[in-house]
Amino acid sequence: MQKDIKNLVKHSSIYTLGNILTKSIGIVLIPVYTKHIPVSDFGVYAIFLITAQIISQFLMLGLDSASLRWYSIQPDRQGIVLFSGIVYSLLINLILALVVVAGMQIIPQAVSLNSIFIKIIYLMPFVIGLDIFYKFLSGYIWYKEYSVIYAVLNFSNFAIQLLSTVIFVAVLKIGILGIFLGQVIGFCIVIPATILIIHQKITVRLDIRLLFEMIKYGWPLSLSTISNNILEGGDRYLLSAMSTMAVVGCYDLGYKFASLIKTLIINSFHTALKPMMWNKLKDENFKEFHTRVITYYTMFTVWISLFLSVFAKGIIKNFVQSQQYWESYKIVGIVTFAVAIKGLFPLFRIGFEIQGRTNYIPAIVTVAGVINIMLNIILIPQFGMLGAALSTFISFSSIIVIAYLLSVKIYYVNIEWKKLGRIFLTVLLFLWIAYYISSFNRLGRIVWKSVLLACYPFVLYWLGVLEKREVAFGLEISRQIIDKIKARI
């Protein structure tokens, strides 16, 4: 099993390195956004973005997830699966292009909007269509565990977006329209590069029956992702209805900071883990591996959550130039832990996928979404964006509770409850200590909070969460990763 963990860490590290490079670009852009984009416009951008994500997942019909299963169960037909998905993606792009042409004739007469917003509406179908195309293409590279290529492609995409966005937002000053234009330009360059890399793996044969089988399997997963997008972004709609776009913009910035743990760590972890889980499904130690991964994931992600929580205020005030956005630090801690907890869901979700019970997945997320909406309606009028953050934490936690209760009957996964309990008690103790450290002067806060975070693994070792062999194994992997980085440099 240590070999499997080693491979997981190896691929996660490469994916994480790629994500750190790409998402660090996003962090660099935050001062640009907050300097050149009013907080209310940033709120409008948040609404457009979540809407595009929902439409993209609806049109994808779960083919990105379904293709992974077909690559695994029909390895001799991978090229046909790949080509059929490409044809579907091109068809969606053609339909969306026709929608734009029709919209140019209808929208200006039907609504009265700022001209910039109308241009964004015209641009969104291209953003959505290209996003679908790239997700399907890069999914194959992901399945084959070509982690270096995957990371390089993503970094190239975001690097192009960085340059384009800076020009459009900071130089040409066209606001949030420039962000979406940057995305389109990035996709238009990286998609041909991806096709060039995988073109020899494509078998030019369209299998309609196969495509419908994949859609039949994948659409519940698509509904799950849509429900998830609504769960994660629906509070922006409710905030816009119950407060102002300025509050939405402030909340969205805080949410983005809190989601750093997802974009840099959790996504990289699951990107490496999912194909590995499918590839070793029939191994004897699969369930033991599954159990240990849950414990390792929890232990590491709550550590990162602690860091973001205790340093949120200082990070935001140093990175964000406009004081209009500074209040966003208040939600970072709550949302960070919510995102970390929700990141456990794919570790339960894989059991439903293995058993072919994918219809449970959207049901779980939908129930959590209903809880989220109800709590937002109750809490936002009283507590504003803090109420939205609390709703997020409770609803995200409910996903894990429901998933675990169902997994007991469908695909039982042994949970190391004693170790998880010790981890969460340690986190609560550290948050309580950090609260009192916050009254120190600036230097004292930085020093003592850093010391507190450094003590975390030692406390877990003392409590028996970490074993000697695991510590030795972790140090060995760390040494190998450092040596490889040094060799590349």
DSSP string covering 441-469 = -HHHHHHHHHHHHHHHHHHHHHTTSS-HH
Interhelix angle 267-279/345-354, rounded to 10 degrees, is 20
> Looking at the domain assignment, is residue 72 inside a domain?
yes
At position 16, the amino acid (one-letter code) is T
- Percent of the chain scoring above 90 in pLDDT: 30
Cβ atoms of 288 and 412 closer than 8 Å: no
Distance CA 452, CA 434 (A): 8
Distance CA 468, CA 198 (A): 43
Which one has a higher pLDDT value, 170 or 407? 170
Give the three-state DSSP class for 106: helix
Mean pLDDT of all residues belonging to the chain: 83
Q: Would you say 152 and 79 are in contact if contact means Cβ atoms under 8 Å apart? A: no
Number of domains forming the structure of the chain: 1
Higher pLDDT, 72 or 67: 67
Can you tell me the distance from the alpha carbon of 337 to that of 266, in angstroms, rounded to the nearest whole number?
12
Q: Are 431 and 376 in contact (CB under 8 A)?
A: no
Query: Cα 352 vs. chain centroid, distance in angstroms?
Result: 20
- Angle, vertex CA 193, rays to CA 191 and CA 198, nearest 5: 95
Q: Which residues of 210-246 are buried (b: 16+ CB within 10 A; e: fewer)?
A: bbeebbebbbbbbbbbbbbbbbbbbbbbbbbebbebb
Rg of the chain (C-alpha set): 23
Q: How far is CA 342 from CA 164, 193, 290, in A?
A: 33, 34, 17
Give the confidence band of 148 by pLDDT, cuts at 50, 70, 90: confident
Q: Is 74 helix (H, G, I), strand (E, B) or coil?
A: coil
Identify the three-state secondary structure at position 285: coil
Instruction: Give the pLDDT confidence score for residue 87 in this predicted structure.
Output: 92
Longest dimension (CA), the chain: 70
Burial class (CB in 10 A: 0-12, 13-18, 19+), 21: middle
Q: Shortest CA distance to 319 belongs to which of 265, 262, 261, 256?
A: 256
Point out the least confidently predicted range of 31-40, 104-113, 345-354.
104-113
Task: Find the mean pLDDT for residues 414-426.
Answer: 88
- For residue 134, pLDDT beyond 70: yes
Which range among 191-195, 445-449, 462-466 shows the weakest confidence by mean pLDDT?
A: 462-466
H-only helix segments in 74-207: 78-110, 115-143, 147-165, 176-198
pTM of the model: 0.80
* pLDDT surpasses 70 at 114: no
In a domain, 124, yes or no: yes
Using the 8-state DSSP alphabet, how is residue 171 labeled? I
Query: Rounded to whole angstroms, how far apart are CA atoms 393 and 398?
Result: 9
User: Is 476 inside a domain boundary?
Assistant: no
Residue 87 lies inside a defined structural domain of this protein: yes
Report yes or no on 428 lying in a domain. Answer: no
What share of the chain has pLDDT > 70, as a percent? 84
pLDDT band at 328 (very low <50, low <70, confident <90, very high): very high
Evaluate whether residue 229 is within a structural domain: yes
pLDDT of 485 over the 50 cut: no
Q: Span 115-127, mean pLDDT?
A: 83
Per-residue pLDDT, 35: 87
- Let me know: does 157 contact 194? Beta carbons within 8 Å: no
Domain that holds residue 135: 2-415
Averaging pLDDT over each range in 92-106, 181-195, 462-476, which range is the top one?
A: 181-195
Beta strand spans in 239-285 (E): none
Q: Does the pLDDT value for residue 379 go beyond 90?
A: yes
User: Considering the domain boundaries, does residue 466 fall inside one?
Assistant: no
Q: Judge whether 482 lies within some domain.
A: no
Residue type, 199: H
Which range is least confidently modeled, 175-184, 279-288, 311-320?
Answer: 279-288
Least Cα distance to 322 among 36, 131, 89 occurs for 36
**Measured distance between the N- and C-terminal CA atoms of the chain, rounded to whole angstroms:** 30
